[in-house]
Chains A and B, each alone.
Chain A
Amino acid sequence: MLRSLHTWPTLLAGVLVTFMAVTGSVLSLEPAVSRLASPAPVAAAESSVAELVAGVAAGFTEPQRLVQKAGGEVIVYHAGETGMAADLVDPTTGASLGAYEPSPFFLTLTELHRSLFAGEAGRIATGTGAAVMILLSVGGLLLLVKRSGSWKRLLKPSQGTFAQRLHVEAGRFALAGIVLLAVSGLFMSMTTLGLVGAPALDGFMTFAESSGGPAMAVTEMPVLKDLGLADLRELTFPAKGDPYDVFSLTTAAGTGSIDQATGELVAFTQNTPAQSLYQLAFTLHTGQDTWAYALVLGWAGLCVPVLFVSGLATWAARIRKPVRIAGNDPAARAETVILVGSEGNTTWGFARSLHAALKAEGQCVHTAAMNDLAKSYPAAKRLIVLAATYGDGDAPASACRFLARLPAFKAAPGLAGSVVGFGDRSFPAFCAYAGDVEKALKDKGLDPLLELATVDRQSTQQFAAWSRAFGQTIGIDLDVAHKAELPELSDFECVSRRDYGQAYQTPKSVLRFRAAAGTKGLPAFRAGDLIGILPAGSDVPRFYSLASSTADGYLEIAVSKQPGGLCSNQLCDLIPGDRITGFIKGNSRFNLPDGKAPLILIGAGTGVAPLVGMARGNRPQKAAYLFAGSRDPGSDLLYGEEIEALIGEGRLQRARLSFSRVPDGAYVQDALRAEAGELRRIVEKGAHIMICGGRGMADGVRDAFEDVLAPLGLTVTKLKADGRYLEDVY
């Protein structure tokens, strides 16, 4: 619902809104440009309006109107050769300073911006555009809150595809400015169109008249003598040859008329609240008197095309007909039913792979969106649900109606179910929606075929593991090698290897690569990013954390040899000169944080590698503390010498190494508890904590940190929500 309110107005009015934002951004340059072209003359401190008006009346044959602009320039419009001419005048003496020539470019653009050269209809269109912009801003903010999980997490780093992140970042940057422009613009449109601030009855007018006697000298007029120049907005002279006409005066406070014979104010109307609001809206919208403010608003406006394009891209990715499931069997006949809850369509990819694998085993399979849950599946023996999670535990797009439809669903006796959750462990509500679905299905009477399985960040390995377990329960040999679409591949050449851990039958190697000869050079990456390596004989990539940045001039990874692991075995057999094929995958939430807040790096085994990579790129201004764990300093301590060197260079403040297989050995989490006081001191300085290693170590570290943080009234969950507790776990 909220999303429809964000999408449909954009599709209908997005081009208009974008056009107005772009023209507005160009117009935002006008105050700065005109200020550069002609600095505003400064009025003398004691200048009076009467003197100014008298000077104008004497210097021009037929002055029509005198206007003081927001920046202090005084313009006189007077009858000229071609219609009306305008002169810039000295605000003290009223003497002409030359023709006032507003740039025709900006004049034309202003007209385009406010009425699209289409008169009244154009003004209605632009007013509507402003209203749409307000709707989109408010809707976007609410969607962002929903997506982030809560108001408090609104400013946390954004997740998702490039287009999604761009949309969120641009939106956060520009929201305030855009809302200000849209609200003030809408108010001005409504005023111009007569929807607010108009007289109660259209057509009624009041006019003041002069008494008709001979005109009084301007310098004698008490009203003008008493008026300060700063309060003057506009003065219209009486028509030449019309003794009954009046001076019309606009001041900061209101409008009135001056009898040209007596020089007295014959009528004065204070500004109505609507008029005062209009002046405020005009000032805020145009930034006429403050060029720097106008430029800031211009930047906000420039974000609108970015938001439009990134929003369209996100929308297109969502509505693109997700999958044509090849060989989809009818729901009524299927033995196995696969239901998919997907937000950005990646989960559909897994579903398609699973569907194809089951079909290859001769199964009769039906795959559909969770929202398309039927009343019953008469032939089904198994119901598989692949469910992503949106935001803080909400249903993803293709499952938003699933739980509402579930009560009407009749599960045949003996129907068994298995739920696989897809998500990102860095979110607190990891796979929360899948958990809800599993519980609901159990309540519905489905036999659980397997416990809830989870897939972190589209891990093909985790999905394959689930598929093997699932295959066993139904007596088929199932190994779903889901193949995501691969980015552009590069070749890398091994230049060195260092081996560790032979003593414990857990061989580990640190491998260093360079761009293979004949390629474009190293792609851009930072320590903590991932490389997806395609082992020979498989096109399913395996991901390894990078221990170096492009700036280091080499690409480095640490590999632990897994028994039977295709990729790790190939990597551990590499010798200098051998080549591998892979691609870089950014992992921006696990890169060296910006700023000077201290850094606590915690890792064990090969998990130490990316942390060392971050220390290599660190500067002494940011104090970094390393906690590294391994079995035995004599066997599997990775980077021992380099850690000492990094301390010598100041890139690491201190390192504490823990060894588990030595007398009185300890794990890295024990070291954390031992240093609890020091850690609390560092955390209180706003430290970022980065953990890399296996799931077991990460859980141990988490428990240790809960103990460390408790006296501060902090929890790991709180630090995670603040983006200060970062895990890269495998």
Chain B
Amino acid sequence: MKKIALKTSAMRTGAAALLLSSALIVPGAAMAKDVAVTVDMKTYRGPGAYLAVYLVDGSGRYQQTLWVSGRKSKYYRHLKGWARGISSAGGSIDGLTGASVGSGRSLTVRANVADALIDAGYKVVVDASVEDWGDKPRDATVPLTNGASAGGGGFVSKLSVKM
């Protein structure tokens, strides 16, 4: 069991954890690509879904957060695949958070991803959670490859990658 502090902009405390994850995100450099990940939600009955969009390696180990719903960390434990990963690996989610995504809506996340991860067995994963209905970790998984797309098992209808 490991513990980490998820830093939000409200509680920035030093740069050590930040450095750890920024190794994979190279801002504006030639070694990285802009990737657009689109999450289409099913039409379900219930309030907006909390989502975590993140990268895992070939063996399923957490690598990098692309986007998280909600700025309240108390909801993060419902996105447990992602939360477990980031709690092991550490990292900041500053600037990567946004609102929950309602039934039938879609979300497009744009991220700068290192070339080394693309077409290299890494996958984009979405964890979803809807109040009263429960959590769906690994709702959808798709290879980090241009044009890849896959259906979801829970609240996600389609997860697709463009770059």
> Which A residues form the contact surface with B (CB < 8 A)?
62, 64-65, 77, 79, 82-84, 86, 104, 107, 111, 120, 194, 198, 201-209, 236, 239-245, 248, 266-267
Q: Which residues of A contact B43 (CB under 8 A)?
A: 82
Of residues 93 through 144 on chain B, the ones whose CB sits less than 8 Å from some CB of chain A are 103, 130, 132-138, 141
Among A64, A83, A107, A242, the most chain B Cβ lie within 10 Å of the Cβ of: A83
Could you count the A-B residue pairs with CB atoms below 8 Å apart for me: how many are there?
103
Q: What distance in Å separates the Cβ of B45 from its nearest Cβ neighbour in chain A?
A: 7
> In the complex, are the beta carbons of A242 and B60 less than 8 A apart?
yes
Q: Which residues of A contact B130 (CB under 8 A)?
A: 83-84
> In the complex, are the beta carbons of A83 and B155 less than 8 A apart?
yes
> In the complex, are the beta carbons of B3 and A64 less than 8 A apart?
no
**21 residue pairs from A and B, CB less than 8 Å apart:** A62-B153, A64-B136, A77-B133, A79-B154, A82-B42, A83-B44, A83-B45, A83-B133, A84-B134, A202-B74, A205-B76, A205-B77, A205-B83, A206-B87, A207-B88, A239-B81, A241-B138, A242-B137, A243-B60, A244-B60, A245-B81
Q: What distance in Å separates the Cβ of B102 from its nearest Cβ neighbour in chain A?
A: 12
Q: Choose, from B6-14, B22-30, B32-40, the stretch at the interface.
A: B6-14
Residue of B nearest to A86 (CB): B133
How far apart are the CA atoms of A161 and B136 in the complex, in Å? 59
How far apart are the CA atoms of A208 and B1 in the complex, in Å? 5
Q: Which residues of B contact A111 (CB under 8 A)?
A: 47
B58 within 8 A of A: no
> In the complex, are the beta carbons of B153 and A245 less than 8 A apart?
no
Q: Quick one: given A84-B154, A267-B1, are A242 and B136 in contact (CB under 8 Å)?
A: no
Q: Quick one: given A84-B134, A242-B60, are A209 and B45 in contact (CB under 8 Å)?
A: no
Q: What distance in Å separates the Cβ of A63 from its nearest Cβ neighbour in chain B?
A: 11
> In the complex, are the beta carbons of A84 and B60 less than 8 A apart?
no
How far apart are the CA atoms of A288 and B8 in the complex, in Å? 38
Q: Quick one: given A194-B74, A205-B3, A243-B60, are A84 and B138 in contact (CB under 8 Å)?
A: no
> Which B residues form the contact surface with A (CB < 8 A)?
1-8, 11, 42-47, 60-61, 72-74, 76-77, 80-81, 83-84, 87-88, 103, 130, 132-138, 141, 153-155
> In the complex, are the beta carbons of B60 and A241 less than 8 A apart?
yes
> In the complex, are the beta carbons of B153 and A79 less than 8 A apart?
yes
Q: Quick one: given A83-B133, A84-B154, A242-B138, are A203 and B81 in contact (CB under 8 Å)?
A: no
How far apart are the CA atoms of A267 and B5 in the complex, in Å? 20
> In the complex, are the beta carbons of A203 and B6 less than 8 A apart?
yes
Q: What distance in Å separates the Cβ of B62 from its nearest Cβ neighbour in chain A?
A: 9
> In the complex, are the beta carbons of B87 and A207 less than 8 A apart?
yes
Q: What distance in Å separates the Cβ of B138 from its nearest Cβ neighbour in chain A?
A: 4
> In the complex, are the beta carbons of B73 and A207 less than 8 A apart?
no
> In the complex, are the beta carbons of B42 and A83 less than 8 A apart?
yes
Q: What distance in Å separates the Cβ of A11 from its nearest Cβ neighbour in chain B?
A: 32
How far apart are the CA atoms of A204 and B4 in the complex, in Å? 6
Q: Which residues of B contact A198 (CB under 8 A)?
A: 74
Q: Which residues of A contact B73 (CB under 8 A)?
A: 202-203, 205
Residue of B nearest to A209 (CB): B84
How far apart are the CA atoms of A79 and B136 in the complex, in Å? 8
Q: Which residues of A contact B153 (CB under 8 A)?
A: 62, 79, 240
Residue of A nearest to B156 (CB): A83
How far apart are the CA atoms of A78 and B84 in the complex, in Å? 21
Q: What distance in Å separates the Cβ of B14 from its nearest Cβ neighbour in chain A?
A: 14
Q: Quick one: given A240-B153, A245-B137, A267-B1, are A203 and B11 in contact (CB under 8 Å)?
A: yes
How far apart are the CA atoms of A428 and B46 in the complex, in Å? 61
How far apart are the CA atoms of A206 and B7 in the complex, in Å? 15
How far apart are the CA atoms of A321 and B130 in the complex, in Å? 54
Residue of B nearest to A198 (CB): B74
> In the complex, are the beta carbons of B154 and A83 less than 8 A apart?
yes
A104, A205, A207: the one within 8 Å of B45 (CB) = A104
Name 8 extra pairs, CB < 8 A, besides A64-B136, A244-B84: A83-B42, A86-B133, A198-B74, A202-B11, A202-B73, A207-B83, A208-B1, A241-B141
Q: What distance in Å separates the Cβ of A117 from its nearest Cβ neighbour in chain B?
A: 9
Q: Which residues of B contact A244 (CB under 8 A)?
A: 60-61, 84
Q: What distance in Å separates the Cβ of A66 from its nearest Cβ neighbour in chain B?
A: 10
Among A107, A120, A207, A241, the most chain B Cβ lie within 10 Å of the Cβ of: A207
Nearest 9 Cβ contacts at the A-B interface: A83-B44, A239-B137, A207-B84, A239-B138, A83-B155, A79-B153, A203-B73, A84-B133, A203-B6
B1, B7, B46: the one within 8 Å of A83 (CB) = B46
A65, A77, A204, A248: the one within 8 Å of B5 (CB) = A204
Q: What distance in Å separates the Cβ of A386 from its nearest Cβ neighbour in chain B?
A: 61
Q: Which residues of A contact B2 (CB under 8 A)?
A: 206-207
Q: Which residues of A contact B8 (CB under 8 A)?
A: 203
Q: Which residues of B contact A240 (CB under 8 A)?
A: 138, 153
Residue of B nearest to A67 (CB): B134
Q: Which residues of A contact B88 (CB under 8 A)?
A: 207, 209
Q: What distance in Å separates the Cβ of B42 from its nearest Cβ neighbour in chain A?
A: 5
How far apart are the CA atoms of A111 and B154 in the complex, in Å? 22
Q: Which residues of A contact B87 (CB under 8 A)?
A: 205-207
Q: Which residues of A contact B137 (CB under 8 A)?
A: 239, 242, 245
Q: What distance in Å separates the Cβ of A100 from its nearest Cβ neighbour in chain B?
A: 11
Q: What distance in Å separates the Cβ of B94 from its nearest Cβ neighbour in chain A?
A: 13
Q: Which residues of B contact A104 (CB under 8 A)?
A: 45
> In the complex, are the beta carbons of B44 and A82 less than 8 A apart?
yes
How far apart are the CA atoms of A83 and B105 in the complex, in Å? 13
How far apart are the CA atoms of A111 and B47 in the complex, in Å? 10
A65, A206, A266: the one within 8 Å of B134 (CB) = A65
Q: Which residues of B contact A266 (CB under 8 A)?
A: 1
Q: Quick one: given A64-B134, A79-B136, A82-B44, are A207 and B5 in contact (CB under 8 Å)?
A: no
Q: Which residues of B contact A267 (CB under 8 A)?
A: 1
Q: Which residues of B contact A243 (CB under 8 A)?
A: 60
Q: What distance in Å separates the Cβ of B139 from its nearest Cβ neighbour in chain A?
A: 8
How far apart are the CA atoms of A236 and B84 in the complex, in Å? 15
Q: Which residues of A contact B76 (CB under 8 A)?
A: 205
How far apart are the CA atoms of A202 and B5 in the complex, in Å? 9
> In the complex, are the beta carbons of A205 and B133 less than 8 A apart?
no
Q: Which residues of A contact B136 (CB under 8 A)?
A: 64, 79, 83-84
How far apart are the CA atoms of A65 and B133 in the complex, in Å? 9
How far apart are the CA atoms of A208 and B84 in the complex, in Å? 8
B74, B81, B132: the one within 8 Å of A107 (CB) = B132
How far apart are the CA atoms of A107 and B72 in the complex, in Å? 24
Q: Which residues of B contact A84 (CB under 8 A)?
A: 44, 130, 133-134, 136, 154-155
